[in-house]
Amino acid sequence: MDLIVEHAEVWAGTIDDQPGALAGALAVLNRAGADLQCVISRRSPDQPGKGVVFVTPLLGDGETAAAAQIGFNVSQTLHSVRIIGPNQRGIVAELTEKLAEAGINLRGFSASVIGARFIAYAAVDSHADARKAIEILGWD
């Protein structure tokens, strides 16, 4: 299968759990030129009144400076692999089975289909697991 499998550096930040907080953070990144491929935001269950935002990618000094300005940091504990390819029935099952067979535990997984292609993000426990996942899923 023709897949693009690569490391995805994830940036994380805390926002207030109120209307407009996510929009404000994303506006700062947008003004800095960020072309985000993935945004995940949710309430923070252990911090009432706060939310957490994960974004990828941030490239270049301007984008990373803007992210730092609003309290975002590259995550040192969230190791993510981006997988892009042609959509087909059962592809997510196939991908996750390959990772399971290799003993890679998923701490998170998301996938979407856009037209005839899919994009998925597999969050794993370590940089070593991310490298292993890239090797395993980069098959033809």
Within-domain flag for 5: no
Do residues 82 and 127 share a domain? yes
Do residues 46 and 87 share a domain? no
Q: Which domain holds residue 41?
A: 10-74
Q: How many domains does the chain have?
A: 2
The CA R_g of the chain, rounded to the nearest whole Å, is 16
Tens of each residue's pLDDT in the chain, 140 residues? 689 999 999 999 999 999 999 999 999 999 999 999 999 999 988 899 999 999 999 999 999 999 999 999 998 888 999 999 999 999 999 999 999 999 999 999 999 999 999 999 999 999 999 999 999 998 64
The CATH number that applies at residue 55 is 3.30.70.260
- Contact call for residues 25 and 32 (beta carbons, < 8 A): no
Q: Which of 74, 98, 120 is the last residue of a domain?
A: 74
Within-domain flag for 1: no
Closest CA to 70 of 8, 22, 9, 37: 22
Do residues 64 and 85 share a domain? no
